[in-house]
Amino acid sequence: MNDRIIFEDVSKFYGEVLGVNQISLSIPPGITTLVGPNGSGKTTIMNLMTGLVQPSNGHISVLGLAPADQTELFSILGYCTQFDFFPRGLTGWQFVLDSLMLHGMEKAMAVDLAQQAIERVQLGDAAWRKIAGYSKGMRQKIRLAQAIAHHPRVLVLDEPLNGLDPMARAESIALFEELSRQGMHVLISSHILDEVDRISDRVILMTGGYLIAEGNIHQVRQEVHEKPMQVLIRCDRPEVLASKMFAINHCVEARLHADGKGVFLRTGDIDQFYSMLNGIAADGLVKIDAVAPADDDANAIYEYLIGKDGSPS
């Protein structure tokens, strides 16, 4: 069994409507984020890999298993969908326990795992109440508990932070990071880009059913050559640094930081930019405290590649 999620030239059409087109991916363990506007194909990708929809073309394998191998696949995969609906009349506890019992395990073990999962998502005593009375955040938590209860190796999360308050979001993100550190595949789709940016090992950018870019977020940013990169330089004399950079005709934009102790510079050639910055620092003209890319986050890349409104810029 290999350790990758593989899509080979996968397309999905819903009648005449395109779901995704000719997607090829090879996803290693870690946190992978699917980013794209509504209708870009993120949920279709997740549904394809879990067999909820069938591909029109191409092949999919999840750690060597086909989506049709339900017994084996769902022993190692948990999917927290974005469908906010549950089987009628169940308490949170029953929902998680019923799901574990279908794995064929002994009741004592299922009870133990259900307990662990509910504690992990910090649902507390609410687990004994009917799901129908839950808030949106609690419903999200119980779905997450059900998805992780059997200790899967692949966790698929469709908009998992929706409806969670800031505290619960932070707890969920910490949980995803912990699961990823344990060697798990965590595949997340989310439109809360800042949070995604912080936890992702790699991103998959999609729009209109097409794959736009894929890989480590910094690599993806460097591949966007036509968009000048923005760098924040913390220094004692930001205006001097800005004028120096403009003098050597290398920057296309400069903007002072609000606190006056730094400058955002935009450059078309990041490698040369850094070497010149080193020269300026060596001359002692400006005392540089810190240098950091200011736009190689998912948000910026998303805007560059897909556009604010979802259409490629």
Partner 1 sequence: MQLGSRAREIVQQPWGLWWMQAQRLTRIELRRNLFSWKATWIYCLAFIPAVIIFIHLLADSHPGFQMSEDTNILAGIVQLYYIRLGVFFGCLGIFSRLIRGEMIERSLHFYLLSPVRREVLLLAKFAAGSISAVFLFGSAVVADFALMYAGFGAAGRDYIFNGPGMGQLEAYLLIIVLACLGYGAVFLLLSMMFKNPTPAAMLVLGWETINPVLPSLLQKISVASYLRHLMPVTVGAEGIFALLTVETEPVSAWAATVGLLVLIAVVLTYSCLRIRTLEIRYSTE
> Which residues of the chain form contacts with partner 1 (CB under 8 A)?
14, 47, 50-54, 68, 70-75, 79, 81, 83, 85-89, 98-99, 101-104, 146
> Minimum distance between the CB of residue 250 and partner 1, rounded to whole angstroms?
51
For tokens 């003098």, the residue is 247
Query: Would you say 19 and 35 are in contact if contact means Cβ atoms under 8 Å apart?
Result: no
Residue 116 CB, shortest distance to partner 1, in Å, is 19
Cβ proximity to partner 1, 36 vs 262, nearer residue = 36
Euclidean distance between CA atoms 285 and 258, whole angstroms: 22
How near is the Cβ of 65 to partner 1 at its closest, in Å? 11
Q: For partner 1, give the closer residue by CB, 71 or 249.
A: 71
Minimum distance of partner 1 from residue 47's CB (angstroms): 7
Q: How far is the CB of 98 from partner 1 (least distance, A)?
A: 6
Torsion, CA 111, CA 86, CA 184, CA 9, rounded to 10: 150
The residue type of 58 is G
Nearest CA-CA partner of 110 in 85, 93, 89, 123: 93
User: Which residue, 95 or 304, is less far from partner 1 as judged by CB?
Assistant: 95
Least separation in angstroms between residue 88's CB and partner 1 is: 7
Nearer to partner 1, 47 or 180 (CB): 47
* C-beta closer to partner 1: residue 146 or 180: 146
Residue 271, C-beta contacts closer than 8 angstroms, at least 6 positions apart: none
Nearer to partner 1, 35 or 97 (CB): 97
Q: How far is the CB of 309 from partner 1 (least distance, A)?
A: 22
Cβ proximity to partner 1: between 17 and 247 the closer is 17
Residue 7 Cβ, how far from partner 1 at the closest point, in Å?
A: 18
Closer of 94 and 122 to partner 1 (Cβ): 94
